[in-house]
Amino acid sequence: MKTKPSIILPLILALATAAPALATPLVDANFEGRLPPRIAFAFNPKHSIDTTRAHTGKSSLRIESTADWGGSAFFSLSNMMDFTTDLEFSVWVFVEKDAMVDIYVSADVGEGVGRQSILNVGSHIKPGEWNLVRGVLRASDWHPADRDVSLNFKVKGVAWFDDLSVNIGDLSGLPGDVWPKVETAVNKAAARRVTALAPGAAVTLDARNAAFLSDTVSTDIAAPSSPGTIIPAEGMLVFAVDAREDINVTGSVQLEPDADLRPGLRAYVLADDTIVAAPNIATATPWRATYTHGRPAAAPEVRGERPPAEIQLNKFRLSKGRHYIAVAGPHFRPAGLFKKLELRADAAPAQKPLHTFALLTDPHLGTGRFEWANTKIMGASAGELETTFRQLKRQGVEYAIVAGDMTDYGHSRQYKDFARAVKRGGLPVYACVGNHDTFSQKSREHIADFIPKLFPDGPEKTDYAFTRAPLRFIVLDGSWWRGKDGSVTDHRTGGRGTSLRDGALDWLRATLAADTKTPTIVVSHYEFYLARGVSSSGCDLGDPLLNKDVMDILEATPNVIATFNGHFHNNEVAVRNGIVCIQTPAFVEWPNAYRVFRVYADRVEWEMRQISNRGLIRESALPKHALFHMLSTHEGDLAGIIPLAPPAR
């Protein structure tokens, strides 16, 4: 039976510069006539070698389960691995309508926790056709305590599997590995065409002023000889700019859109790691991101409207010295035909801030990778978090706030990794507890053991306040778990979900009342207020969300100017009764972003940045899902100002 194939790539392995093939096969199964060795089944699914459907050859493995939990086939990889090499698997999958398939690598992670998924892919499989599902685990994704590894096919409904391959070896050619070398090469090439920008000056640049990178895994850098060029999905056009002083810059890009008008991100415009524009293609009729079997489904196949060619840049700051301005593809379609870049520097040099701080949310330190709306790169998160802290410190940032989900499961080894990233990063950090941080029964003990100094009043007081003049911050721990009977526990239970601890609202009122003059920002992992509604891509994000109990208290306090939160992994900024409510997207998952704030005597200015390794950003993005509406959801959410004067209520 011939059907149109589909390909699901949790990491983009079909690259211009292909990753090297892995040399050592662990499993090679074509399911011709018999079951392969090392396969077993759990939860009693019906299984057979089926000759009615095959991807190649004459037969495939058929699994059927009607149980609520589903049934599983698994291949034991124990005693076949030494956890010092990369692992790659691929399998072709065919499903009937409404069937659910989960394909994942799991291990016993120790600590009495039991089995846990290390790599999870393949939950988005098109019915009625053969889908190629591939997954990769880097050696760094494993943990020394991991044991009893298996590759698992979980099925609810009916599914067929064919041409399974599992290999180990070296995958050092993946985007995150090669990006540092590529970045050096493209910046060196761009520097040969450097442009100076002084206060009050304006420049108009075209492709002949830039270096062109057709793919972020290739060091084949071009020097365009014509003014325009098409920027591929993973391509970049990079301009070197020398700022003669600290300057504030505005401008625009002329970019004719590609013929692919699916809604979502159209292109990135970056000043180093700062996102100065992230225009979307929008639909005339709102659409909704949906869920399948409890997970985000791929974006619907709808067509947006053709946008104008001109893209306005947010005002951004360049410190004195060399910078790189890039126009980059959005991963899932070409950015379009680039024509020109205009930059205009303010006449007055940029004002020096009193101090600068960063806000990060949802780094989810852990092991492996997990497919969600995009791919959560938990195993790479610790190293990238340390790199980000080091970079921020070099740039003069004084401290960072991490607004929850520091870890993925709240295990001791994850808190050890977080503590190590903070120590090596060398930047003072203030922590906030998220729901994932209390998944384990001993999570709060681990907080006390490994990161006690990230809570200024001690790890027992995870609601706290601190002052960094001219600001005061109040941090709320909303990750206590409410049981069905209304009782509160300090870790995840099967009750009603997370909440503030008993007495937290009274503590908040008293803490706010103790100082009604200092401009105050309140931080939690969870939303205070989200306007939501129809986003810049036409995606309907849903009705507004309001934590009324907390917001009523904040709105009754004259000096509360802003709230910070994470949790939902997407970007949003909204204003309610003068309070600027800022939700920062996830660090661990595309768009892999965070915010930097510059504090002045009368205001706080902020901007959005992405992690510096654009190869890892590429690995985290899932073009197959095309869920690229999460970076910029409304106008004004990439940069802005929070006045320090008491807002009108």
Residues 507 and 434 in one domain: yes
- Measured in degrees and rounded to the nearest 5, phi and psi for residue 437 equal -70, -10
Answer whether residue 14 is part of any domain: no
- What count of residues does the chain have? 649
Q: pLDDT per residue over 300-338, tens digit each?
A: 999 999 999 999 999 999 999 999 999 999 999 999 999
Answer yes or no: do 372 and 484 share one domain. Answer: yes
Positive or negative CA dihedral for 531, 534, 535, 540? Answer: positive
> Does residue 312 sit in the same domain as residue 239?
yes
Its domain, for residue 461, covers: 355-643
CATH of the domain at 509: 3.60.21.10
Position 9 in a domain: no
Q: How far apart are the first and last CA of the chain?
A: 67
Both 237 and 88 in one domain: the answer is: no
Write down the pLDDT at residue 79: 83
Distance in angstroms (rounded) separating the CA atoms of residues 440 and 456:
23
Distance CA 519, CA 399 (A): 18
Asked whether residue 66 falls in the same domain as residue 179, the answer is: no
Give the chain's domain count. Answer: 3
Residues 298 and 400 in one domain: no
Indicate the residue among 125, 152, 169 that finishes a domain. 169
Domain assignment of residue 21, yes or no: no
Contact predicate 609/274, CB 8 Å? yes
pLDDT tens digit sequence for 148-188:
899 999 999 999 999 999 999 888 889 999 999 999 999 99
- Residue 8 inside a domain? The answer is no
Give the separation between CA 108 and CA 112, rounded to whole angstroms. Answer: 9
Residues 6+ apart with CB under 8 A from 423: none
* Residues 98 and 238 occupy one common structural domain: no
Low-confidence residues in the chain, pLDDT < 70: 1-23, 122-123
In a domain, 17, yes or no: no
Distance CA 427, CA 129 (A): 50
Mark whether 404 and 452 lie in a shared domain.
yes
Burial class (CB within 10 angstroms; exposed 0-12, middle 13-18, buried 19+) of 295: middle
Can you tell me whether residue 642 is helix, strand or coil? strand
Confidence (pLDDT) at 115:
84
The predicted pLDDT at position 17 comes to 35
DSSP one-letter code for 508: H
Same domain assignment for residues 452 and 486? yes
User: If you average pLDDT over every residue of the chain, what do you get?
Assistant: 93
DSSP characters for 531-573?
A: --SB-TTSBB--S-EE-HHHHHHHHTSTTEEEEEE-SSSS-EE
Beta partners for residue 281, in sequence order: 264
Pick from 326, 183, 219, 208: which is nearest to 267 by CA? 326
Q: Is residue 286 in a domain?
A: yes
- Here the CATH number for the domain that contains residue 294 is 2.60.120.260
* Same-domain pairing of 541 and 606: yes
| Cβ 52 vs Cβ 64: under 8 Å | no
202 inside domain = yes
Is residue 341 domain-shared with residue 368, that is, in the same domain? Answer: no
Residue 239 located in a structural domain: yes
Q: By the 8 A CB rule, do 141 and 369 touch?
A: yes
Considering the domain architecture, whether residues 302 and 380 belong to the same structural domain is answered as no
Write down which residue in 110, 142, 169 finishes a domain: 169
Residue type, 427: L
Task: Give the domain-ending residue among 289, 315, 349.
Answer: 349
